[in-house]
Structure 1
Amino acid sequence: MTALPPGGIVLPDADAVARAAAERLAALAAGTDRCAVALSGGSTPKRLYALLAGPEFRGRLPWERIHWFFGDERVGDSPEAGSNRRMVEAAFGSDTPVPAGHLHPIPTGPDPDRAAASYAAELQSFHGGATLDPGRPLFDLVLLGLGEDGHTASLFPGKPAVTVTDRWVVGVPEAGLAPFVPRVSLTLPALASSRLSLFLVSGAGKRDPLTRIAAGEDLPAGRVRAAGELVWLLDAAAAG
């Protein structure tokens, strides 16, 4: 088996990863008056969102108390702009259980820095302050993916956004992988402000970055921390 990061849990397949994440979200949301979730792009998170909106979980979630934010987004004038929002909306379905105003997409205007500043202001308004307090996390749950280069959200190896610590949201003028379009991403401090952070990782293509992170290589995904619990949900193909 591939060496795993601390907190790694191996499950049979991507469906099992999505189901485990759904169970954790249901349990977390049941114990909160207001639940804030940061969403990730990717195929396994898409399975999760469709599962949440399906018959098994739709009635178990307090949808009226959950607010959905985004960990990153493609912005600008290209067709890829807004792709994470479109994916999430499609996964939740035309009869979405998400109440109006509870989905908080990242602006997709042509200036990534301006979009980042706008989203930071929205997060701070929701949070009720501009300071991240470990005792009062910004998010109840942060969902994360893992790129084959070790990136997470839109924090790519060797790019300046990885080192930003004085902002909650940052513009990413150029991605480290295709499509090379501008992005907006939450920063590592914002991602760390969470009661629970879940990496959802599936597929044999993720074995290499998992091994590198487990060995201590300084990749963006390996830098992620959480105010509460950090868990890696991996399918058997990723874990080797």
Structure 2
Amino acid sequence: MIPLPTNSEILADSDAVARAAAERLTALCAAAPDRPIAVCLSGGSTPKRLYALLAGPDYRGALPWARLHWFFGDERHVPWDDAASNVRMVRDAFADAPIPPGNLHGIPANGSLAEDTAAYEAALKAFYGAAALDRNRPLFDLVLLGLGEDGHTASLFPGKAAIDEAHAWVAPVPEAGLAPFVPRITLTFPALASAHGVLVLVTGEAKRTPLQRLAEGEDLPAARITGPVTWLLDRAASDT
């Protein structure tokens, strides 16, 4: 069995991982009934299952959609209608969920990489109401992250400058570390760590290798995830 990250939970399969994440979001919303809730979304197949689940009959009626604001941890710098876009994936997965106009905060893809990076950071700061993060007032209520086969998370790839960004909330990634090799925009580790809770969703046998590398102490980007982190893994990934 692979030694697992601290605070890991092993679930039966990817559907069970998605349902566990949905339960945590529902509980979080119930515990904060009188304010906006900010959720940072991840790309990938397991998060897509989660979004479809939230929009389905089991959870749709339990969520305060008018108070939920959905942000993105990263995005490929392509138009939102492109098949590679996380915005498109999220919109398709949520389908006709009652998300108010303006509550889905996509990373811009209309200007240059630098312009759109700056625009998203400005949008985050406007929502947060300050230009600097306060450790006593997290930016997000919940951050969803994944684990790439190369150990990346969000679009924070091994060997790329964005992983060492200590001040900016958002960073450009001119060259991705994995296909599709298109420029990306990513939240940085300081922004991702500014959360009441962080869930790392890890499913499938292909994730055993990066989990093993993390267990061996390799300095992969995912090893730098901090904050109140819980790892939700299925049995295929955890080798149990």
TM range (shorter): over 0.9
Q: TM-score, normalised by structure 1?
A: 0.96
Using the TM superposition, give the Cα deviation of residue 166 of structure 1 relative to its aligned residue in structure 2, in angstroms. Answer: 1.4
Superposed CA RMSD? 1.4
Unaligned runs of 5+ in 2: none
- Give the residue type in structure 2 aligned to 1:25: L
Paired AA for residue 188 in structure 2:
T
> Is residue 130 from structure 1 mapped to residue 116 from structure 2 by the alignment?
no
Q: Percent identity?
A: 62
Structure 1 residue 7, shift from structure 2 partner: 1.2
| Equivalent position SS for 1:181 | coil
Answer whether contact 1:78 1:181 (CA < 8 A) is retained: no
Residue-by-residue CA offset, 1:185-216 (whole Å, 9 max, x unaligned): 00000000000000011000000111111222
Runs of 4 or more consecutive aligned structure 1 residues displaced over 4 Å after TM superposition: 76-82
User: Aligned residue for 1:25?
Assistant: 25
Q: 1:76 to 1:53 in 2, by over 3 A?
A: closer
Q: Deviations over 1:67-88 (max 9, x none)?
A: 0000000004798576100000
2:182 maps to which residue? Answer: 181
CA drift at 1:109: 2.7
Deviation at 1:113, TM superposition (A): 1.7
Q: Note the C-alpha offset of 1:100.
A: 1.2
Aligned amino acid, residue 115 of structure 2: R
User: What TM-score comes out, normalization by structure 2 length?
Assistant: 0.96
State how far apart, in whole Å, the 2-side matches of 1:181 and 1:36 are.
Answer: 27
* Matched AA of 1:3: P
Within 5 Å, which residues of 2 pair with 1:1-240? 1-32=1-32, 33-76=35-78, 80=82, 83-93=85-95, 95-226=96-227, 229-240=228-239
C-alpha distance in 1, partners of 2:199/2:26?
14
Task: Identify the range of structure 1 (119-128 vs 209-218) with the bigger mean alpha-carbon deviation.
Answer: 209-218
Q: Give structure 1 stretches of 5+ with no counterpart.
A: none
- Distance of 2:63 and 2:93 partners within structure 1: 16
User: Would you say the 8 A contact 1:74–1:81 is kept in 2?
Assistant: no
- 1:50 and 1:208, CA in 2 relative to 1: closer, same or farther beyond 3 A? same
